[in-house]
Amino acid sequence: MVSRADRGIFAEWWWTVDKYLLFSMLALMITGVVLSLAGSPPVAERIGLDSFHFTTRHVLFLIPTIAIMLATSMLSPQKARRTALIVFIVAIVLMFLTLFVGQEVKGARRWINVIGFSLQPSEFMKPAFIVLSAWLFTENSRRSDIPGNIFAILLLTIVVALLVAQPDLGQTMLVVIAWSAVFFMAGLSWYWILALAGLGAGGVLAAYTVFPHFAGRINRFLDPGTGDTFQVDTAMQSILGGGWFGRGPGEGVVKRILPDSHTDFIFAVAAEEYGILVCIGLVLVFAFIVVRGLSHSLKNEDPFIRLSSAGLIVMFGVQSVINMSVNLNLVPAKGMTLPFISYGGSSMLALAFQMGLVLALTRRRFEPIRLTAGLGRYGNAAKAGAV
């Protein structure tokens, strides 16, 4: 048991971090391992690997994932901002290099080999970008000599250009939504709201016109008869086949022909083997993290902490909603992982950094005004006693 009298780094962290948020995230990680056991063996067997190849790697990635999240959660707001700046610069450089020396998968260059490890730099760029944008918006309101809004827009332009060049339109949309949420909370005018809405609509139209795969996904969603909808249809069969209580662990049938059952469609596997009730419980855990995180953000008086933590939580929530909505055929198909549940090394490590920042920024801290007032009273009493 950690004593409240202990003034060590770990003790201070333990008594100030939101344990409900912390254990909710750990619960998602453990659930991810369980669902990896259910969803990954069929995929591994289809490509000639050991049945538990992806599960083993998932568990191995879980160790640095937890370490990164805990280490990041111990940062002060100032160190969190500086760390985000370093991560952002490195990620942007790697994203640029990826366009030339990255691995091409299904016509996109999103991965780069770093010291023998296949890395997706855009995953790490996202949380760092949101924190830096929040800082720029904050500085814009604090100091009239710093055009923070303009710099934030320039950063967004760079990020969007690199993502579209890969291309990765799903991540582009996710980043723009989170950035827009931060800008909105920073107090943008209706002029900006209308301008951003117009740019967003124009961007979607341009993507539909320029990128055939994006247009194909939209068309298949609106009219399934226009293309191949095997994966989405199979996911729906998997969900419906599980019913309320599921077929039982390891008893899934439809999952065996679901191509991405260990990544984008692991939610469907959860429904088939454990039932809709378990999926509802999973949704409630995600909802709890989002609501509690936003509650902390709105209560904080520091604008930087309020904007950055809220932006990170919005990005986490939107990503979760997109993944589950794709599984339920509520939105066009998009390759996006379910946070801490889907298999994926870069995704897990980047999410650990992202949610570690949330834990760091939402930690309880002393209020300087009250502390000063208290010292003032004691100081005056001491002076009176001295006289």
Residue 377: band (very low, low, confident or very high) from pLDDT cuts 50, 70, 90: very low
Q: What is the pLDDT averaged over residues 119-145? A: 91
User: What is the Cα–Cα distance from 90 to 125, expressed in whole angstroms?
Assistant: 8
Q: What is the pLDDT averaged over residues 87-92? A: 96
Q: How many CB atoms lie within 10 A of CB 13?
A: 17
CA torsion through residues 140, 153, 159, 220, sign: positive
Q: Which helix (H) or strand (E) holds 49?
A: none
User: What is the Cα–Cα distance from 362 to 294, expressed in whole angstroms?
Assistant: 10
Specify whether the CB–CB gap between 57 and 347 falls below 8 A: no
Q: What is the pLDDT averaged over residues 138-151? A: 84
DSSP class per residue in 225-268: GGS--HHHHHHHHHHHHHTTT-S-TT--SGGGG-TTTTTTTHHH
Does the pLDDT value for residue 218 go beyond 80? yes
Q: What is the pLDDT averaged over residues 317-337? A: 90
User: What is the Cα–Cα distance from 21 to 4, expressed in whole angstroms?
Assistant: 20
Angle separating helix axes 77-101 and 303-327, nearest 10 degrees: 50
Does the pLDDT value for residue 229 go beyond 90? no
Phi, psi of 112 (to 5 degrees): -135, 145
The pLDDT tens digits for 94-114 are 999 999 988 877 778 888 888
The pLDDT tens digits for 152-191 are 999 999 999 999 999 888 899 999 999 999 999 988 777 8
> 155-191 burial string, b = 16+ CB within 10 Å, else e?
bbeebbebbbebbbbbbbbbbbbbbbbbbebbebeee
User: What is the Cα–Cα distance from 86 to 196, expressed in whole angstroms?
Assistant: 28
Q: Which pLDDT value is given to residue 374?
A: 47
> pTM for this structure?
0.89
> Between β-strands 117-119 and 103-105, what pairing exists: parallel, antiparallel or unpaired?
unpaired
The count of residues in the chain is 387
Q: What is the pLDDT averaged over residues 282-307? A: 94
Average pLDDT, the chain: 87
Sheet holding 108-114, edge to edge: 103-105, 108-114, 117-119
For the ranges 22-36, 125-139, 212-226, 307-321, the lowest mean pLDDT is seen at 212-226
